[in-house]
Amino acid sequence: MIEKEFKFKYQIFEDFSELPGHAQKLMKSAINARNKAYAPYSKFQVGAALYLNNDETVTGSNQENASYPSGLCAERTAIYAAGANYPEAKIEALAITATSQKHKVLEPIAPCGACRQAIAEYEKKQNSPIVIYFMGESGKIIMVNALLDILPLAFDNKFL
């Protein structure tokens, strides 16, 4: 038997003002996207913004459905829009933010497991990391250097 350890570095910014300018811009786009969420059931609005290497920004928000599992998270709404509209571009960064009509969201909201799997596919496809910034409605922001840092032992096409 051998034992292995998985370690990764990530950064915590105290608040929005501490982010570098380009990340502030992207987070602002995510906040705008968040305001367009359709979340009548959870009352939890999520916005995502992707910055591409062709200088385009693609956004998405969660889109819920009366048949709950038919809804889609903000991150996947955004990443599939990027893949559909700019199939040749590389995604450099993703900003995520969430708010709730039920309580204040002051902790960074990390992408769910299904979204991590979806984003991992694009990291693999473009063969370069996607930097991810995630925040609540305000407050601390976590930055991870690559999606695969938060999805160790990921399933991918090499198993197929």
Residue numbers annotated as active site: 75
Q: Give the nearer residue to ligand THU in terms of CB position, either 87 or 112.
A: 112
120 contributes a contact to ligand THU by CB under 6 A: no
Q: Are 150 and 144 in contact, with CB atoms under 8 Å apart? A: yes
44 contributes a contact to ligand THU by CB under 6 A: yes
- Stated length of the chain: 160
Q: Give the nearer residue to ligand THU in terms of CB position, either 115 or 130.
A: 115
Angle between the N-to-C axes of helices 74-85 and 21-34, in degrees from 0 to 180, rounded to the nearest 10: 110
108 contributes a contact to ligand THU by CB under 6 A: no
Q: Are 41 and 35 in contact, with CB atoms under 8 Å apart? A: no
112 contributes a contact to ligand THU by CB under 6 A: yes
Rounded CA-CA distance 43/40 in Å is 5
Of 16, 36, 71, 149, the one binding ligand THU (CB under 6 A) is 71
Which among 102, 101, 112, 99 has a CA at the least distance from the CA of 72?
112
Of 64, 123, 130, 144, the one binding ligand THU (CB under 6 A) is 64
137 contributes a contact to ligand THU by CB under 6 A: no
46 contributes a contact to ligand THU by CB under 6 A: yes
Q: Are 64 and 27 in contact, with CB atoms under 8 Å apart? A: no
The least CB distance from residue 31 to ligand THU, in Å, is 14
Which among 91, 71, 70, 69 has a CA at the least distance from the CA of 79?
91
For ligand THU, the binding residues (CB under 6 A) are 39, 42, 44, 46, 62, 64, 71, 73-75, 111-112, 115
